Amino acid sequence: MKFSWKLLNNFIELENIEQNFFTEQLTLAGIEIENIEKNHHNDNIIDLSITTNRKEINCIFSLAREIAIILDQPLKIFPIIQHTNINNLIYYDNQRVSLPENISQINICIVKNIKFNRTPNWLNRYLTTQDIQPINLIYNIQQYLKLKWGQIFYYTEIKTMFNQALKENEKKLFNIIYTFLNNHYSSLNNYQILIFVKDNQTTTFCNYRHQEYYINFFTESIRLISTFTKCTIGKYYHIYNLNLNNNRNKFIEVTKHEINTTLGYINYTKYRYLSTAHIMDILDKLDFSPKYNKNLKIFTIQVPKYRIHDIQRSIDIIEEIGRIYQFNLFKQNILELTHKPSINNNTKIIQKIRYILRNIGLNEVINCSLTKSNLNKKNYSNVLIYNPLNQEQKQLRTNISEHLLNNYQYNIKNGNDQVEIFEISKVFDKIQTNQYKEEIYLGCLFNNPNFIHNEWSEMPKNINLFHIKGITEIFLEQINANIKLQTISQQDNTDKIRNVLRLLNPIKKIGIYNISNEQLIGIIGEVKKIYTINKNQTYLIEINLNDLVKTVKTKKHLQYINQIYSNYPYVTRDISITITKEKNINEIKETILKNNLDLIESIKVFNEYKEIKSNLRSISLRIIYRSYNRTLNNKDIEKIDKHIEQIKYSF
């Protein structure tokens, strides 16, 4: 918004203030000056960036009052106080009609013989500064006063006052005025009127901040209109409404301790805070009507109605105090770290997972959690957004895989047929009505027709489910996760993967299980053909990362196994046993140990020979005899040998 330097000088003395100092002080107080440039009328035009929380700075006078607070300079003008006896309501024809709640006063001025003369050059210059195109004298005066005071007046002929386009609140206002004048004049058609409205809040009619300067605005309006239009000013009518709650709406308390701890010590002083008197002075300048309780050391302020939109909490009051005093005059309270901050163990594991997946050859992608979810139309667990920005972002995603499929399809369409990507991000799920959960998931997608290349003379082949399984096992082994891969049974709880199952081939999928509790935490599978756009198979992995992290064993120390060590000599026997291919070697070991547990230390397989023609295999076992409490004698050894011979022939 642009403001005239000359027009500002009508309210506050700025002639002896340097522009650099002026710019610096307003910027430190939170009013950003984008540019100051001199126009061809030798006037400096100030271009301000007004934030939404300071919307009350909408005219020259409101800016001048703010500058007066910041620079601690008095205004050149004082409010004109109106002293009169007023009634709560308007009476006519024995009827009683009250004014609208937001209107505290209406001033009506009867005028005659208004001439639309040429607008003075100085007034046109102020309008063109704000990119306002001059139209006629009355319109130009209206816009000039709006720029200067932030308030407007209405000019109309009574006979045509309802022929113009009016807003709803303006129609109500004109009806009241027409009814009132109709009771005082026999014929209204020959009159012209000026209407001034004093509002009790910032609306169409005026800026509430300047209520006390309303008569100043009213007086200047009459002076300009009568001077330049050469009109005759007739009677004045003042309509008042006392049926209003004029008390300020909001009270906020803030303690001296809060102010001290938030703002800190003043610069260039030794451990001194802002004094109570100084705080009271700043609050008084801000029109906060402060009161201070010495015993409780509490400031109580009344928020003016024009600042209710941005002064809501005690911290807002402290911010205003720091803004006016200037934040750079306080010492910075930078806390020194007494110890080096530590990284959460889960964060370390996730960082390690990212590192491993990149080393395997996957590219990380990042997708937005908002989605329209074309693939999930019939999923009742969707987490919908209230009042979405657009239809493309109307709900939160319930899995990682859908966005990975979108990335895959985009790459294929752009000529990249080797897609190996992963993403670690949050997904959302609806548990019950108005109950939702948020978890971190890992998703991977593979589509590579040249992944397998056994020999240089052979054509490369597409990746298959067994290779995906192998990659997953390598990855899980490197992070030291206590996980197993196995077929998903119908009895398993599939809540962790239910939003992905519909994307995968029901025959070609593998479950990822936590070994400790047998819980299904992820899935590997081939994507259904309806979701792919080329002939190559596409594979997905999706794992609940919160559950996966719980299975990771940290290698902070060795995992010791306590076992009794024997100091007595041992005897080694190597034997060969011929068994069928279906026979389990563990069954043989258990049979040997059954009767000789105290005298056999270990049994190991050191060789195996398979006969192709027959359904047999020859297993070579190395058995160590040793006792923990004595040296073995010949009888002990013969007994074990005899027992083993019997077992050999039994199989």
Last residue in a domain, options 189, 221, 240: 240
Number of domains comprising the chain: 5
- Over range 268-296, report the average pLDDT: 86
Instruction: State the Cα–Cα distance between residues 311 and 596, nearest whole angstrom.
Output: 87
pLDDT at 524 over 90: yes
Q: Closest Cα partner for 389 from 406, 371, 411, 367?
A: 371
Residues 617 and 493 in one domain: no
Residues 167 and 131 in one domain: yes
pLDDT score, position 91:
42
480 within a domain of the structure (yes/no)? yes
| 3-state DSSP assignment of residue 596 | helix
Instruction: Give the burial string for 86-111 (b: 16+ CB within 10 Å, else e).
Output: eeeebeeeeeeeebeebbbbbbbbbb
200 within a domain of the structure (yes/no)? yes
| Banded model confidence at residue 94, pLDDT cuts 50, 70, 90 | very low
557 within a domain of the structure (yes/no)? no
| Banded model confidence at residue 379, pLDDT cuts 50, 70, 90 | low
Residues 288 and 321 in one domain: yes
Within 10 A of 546 (CB to CB), how many other CB atoms are there? 14
Q: What φ, ψ does residue 239 adopt, rounded to 5°?
A: -110, 125
pLDDT at 563 over 80: no
pLDDT at 93 over 50: no
Q: List the CATH number of the domain containing 212.
A: 3.50.40.10
Residues 262 and 236 in one domain: no
143-171 pLDDT tens trace: 888 888 888 888 888 777 766 666 777 77
Average model confidence (pLDDT) for the chain?
Answer: 82
556 within a domain of the structure (yes/no)? no
Beta strands 363-364; 419-432: pairing state: parallel
Residues 365 and 512 in one domain: yes
451-510 pLDDT tens trace: 887 777 778 888 888 899 999 999 999 998 999 998 888 878 888 888 888 899 988 999
| Banded model confidence at residue 299, pLDDT cuts 50, 70, 90 | very high
Burial (Cβ within 10 Å: 0-12, 13-18, ≥19) of residue 246:
exposed
566 within a domain of the structure (yes/no)? no
Residue 468 belongs to what domain range? Answer: 345-551
pLDDT at 389 over 80: no
Residues 221 and 361 in one domain: no
Residues 509 and 391 in one domain: yes
pLDDT score, position 352:
92
376 versus 16: which is more confidently predicted?
A: 16
| Banded model confidence at residue 96, pLDDT cuts 50, 70, 90 | very low
Residues 381 and 412 in one domain: yes
Instruction: State the Cα–Cα distance between residues 536 and 449, nearest whole angstrom.
Output: 6
pLDDT at 432 over 60: yes
429 versus 93: which is more confidently predicted?
A: 429
Last residue in a domain, options 551, 583, 617: 551
pLDDT score, position 202:
43
| 3-state DSSP assignment of residue 349 | helix
pLDDT score, position 511:
92
Residues 135 and 61 in one domain: no
Q: In what order do the strands lie in the sheet with 370-371?
A: 370-371, 395-396, 383-384
Q: List the CATH number of the domain containing 626.
A: 3.30.70.380
40-54 pLDDT tens trace: 777 888 888 877 777
pLDDT score, position 86:
47
204 within a domain of the structure (yes/no)? yes
Q: List the CATH number of the domain containing 298.
A: 3.30.56.10
Instruction: State the Cα–Cα distance between residues 158 and 193, nearest whole angstrom.
Output: 7
- Over range 15-37, report the average pLDDT: 83
pLDDT at 267 over 90: no
Residues 109 and 211 in one domain: yes
pLDDT score, position 203:
41
| Banded model confidence at residue 440, pLDDT cuts 50, 70, 90 | very high
CA angle 49, 54, 60 (to 5 degrees): 70
pLDDT at 381 over 80: no
Which residue in this structure is represented by tokens 């990855």? 475
| 293 strand-pairing partners | 298
Residues 541 and 420 in one domain: yes
Last residue in a domain, options 517, 551, 585: 551
364 within a domain of the structure (yes/no)? yes
Residues 416 and 487 in one domain: yes
123 within a domain of the structure (yes/no)? yes
pLDDT at 201 over 60: no
